[in-house]
Amino acid sequence: MDILSIIQDIGLENFIKNYFTNKVDLFIDFLDKKNLLGEFQQELIDEGYFVDVMKHHYQNDPQYVIDTIVEQYFGDVTYDNNRFWLSMSREDLSHLFEADRWGSGAMGIARKILSSEYDSFFDYVEIYNLEDDVISGLNPDNLNILKEAVYKELEGQEIENDGETDIITLEKVMNMGDKNLSELIKNHAPDVYGNLSSLYNSSYEAAYEEEVYNDVMNELKSLFGTENFSREVPYKRKTLKSGTTDIIEVDDYKFQVDVTNILPTLIIDVLNWGGYNSDNDFEYYGGLEGLLKFWLSEEKGRLSFTISDYPDFRLVEKYINEMFKDYI
């Protein structure tokens, strides 16, 4: 009687128990060497040995395992141009980050960056010192524009500034140092000061947003192992025609992230769990997105970064000069 007949006669479970002392991995190796694994693979999987079969294949052909698992269990993943793409909400990438006890922390900050409805970080940032915060950092071109704006607001007025009373002229304003110009603006040019306040607030917010944006993106680039980790692809979405019950197709865009580089590590890690929540953990999470979140928590730790209380002043200064002409 051949091996195939014996297994079929006494049953798979009993054969593994009697001849391999319940060591499924040794049995699978045996079948593979006898070129019989294909005969019993589906039965093994049906009996709850999916993990064991896939771990065996992974040693010799990891791509076969990746392709099999993606096809069978990751309905939210598509294969395009030699890359695997996970379809998900851009904002939901924030759930890959750590959260504090209130659900904020890095996750809350990431949500602000990734959300389609931008939420500012600060209510309003007041100028603490006009000379240091704004004027001293202006490039020569913007400084001249500022002085011309001050002169335009105060032209011909008699004003006491720096202990002297004099008629404001363009020459006097253009020759002022930063300190005197700051005092003149604060005390006598409310329109210019208001515009500078708005400029400073916007620049401060933009600088902080850029720093946090880079922190968030660097974490995601590191996780997915590629610089260009996301894309938007056009697709046809079904919806109801306005005012009717008719179903129509409309053009829309789907957000996707490139998971090609993390799939090998994620899949072998999950296989090594040996059945964390079920005989087959891949069917437990409803797709890759849910498993990805859990895998991060179990294996790598959720993404995180140090959150500063304020932006780098050099970046604020850069934005002040870039945005200056929009305000003054």
Specify if 301 maps to a domain. no
Reply yes or no on whether the pLDDT at 252 is more than 70: yes
Q: What SS3 state is found at 249?
A: strand
Whether the per-residue pLDDT at 102 is higher than 70: the answer is: no
Quick check: is 100 in a domain? no
Residue 302's identity, in one-letter code, is R
pLDDT, averaged across the chain: 89
272: pLDDT strictly greater than 80:
yes
The rounded percent of the chain whose pLDDT value lies above 90 is 58
pTM for the model? 0.84
Quote helix, strand, coil % in the chain, to nearest 5. Answer: 60, 15, 30
Q: Range of 190's domain?
A: 130-206+310-327
Banded model confidence at residue 263, pLDDT cuts 50, 70, 90: very high
Chain segment 47-66, per-residue pLDDT in tens: 888 999 999 999 989 999 99
Taking every pair of Cα atoms in the chain, the longest distance, rounded to a whole number of angstroms, is 117
Any bridge partners for residue 164, and if so which? 161
Is the predicted pLDDT of residue 90 greater than 90, yes or no? yes
Does residue 266 have a pLDDT over 60? yes
Over residues 221-239, mean pLDDT = 90
**At which residue do the structure tokens 């392709």 appear?**
67
Is residue 180 domain-resident?
A: yes
Distance CA 201, CA 18 (A): 76
The answer to whether 148 and 162 are in contact (CB under 8 A) is no
Measured CA to CA, the distance from residue 264 to residue 94 in angstroms comes to 23
More confident residue, 307 or 56: 56
Give the count of domains, the chain.
1
Q: Find the mean pLDDT for residues 296-324.
A: 93
Strand order in the sheet with 77-80: 77-80, 83-87, 247-258, 230-240
Domain membership flag for residue 173:
yes
- Residue 221, domain member (yes or no): no
Find the range with the poorest average confidence among 40-44, 269-273, 284-288. Answer: 40-44
Q: Is residue 114 part of a domain?
A: no
Q: State how far the Cα of 15 lies from the Cα of 31, in Å rounded to an integer.
A: 12
**pLDDT, mean of residues 105-126:** 86
Confidence at residue 239, expressed as pLDDT on a 0 to 100 scale: 79
Q: Using 50, 70 and 90 to split pLDDT, how confident is the model at 221?
A: very high
Provide the percentage of residues in the chain whose pLDDT is more than 70. 96
Position 194 in a domain: yes
Structural domain includes residue 116: no
pLDDT tens for each residue of 172-203: 999 999 999 999 999 999 999 999 999 999 99
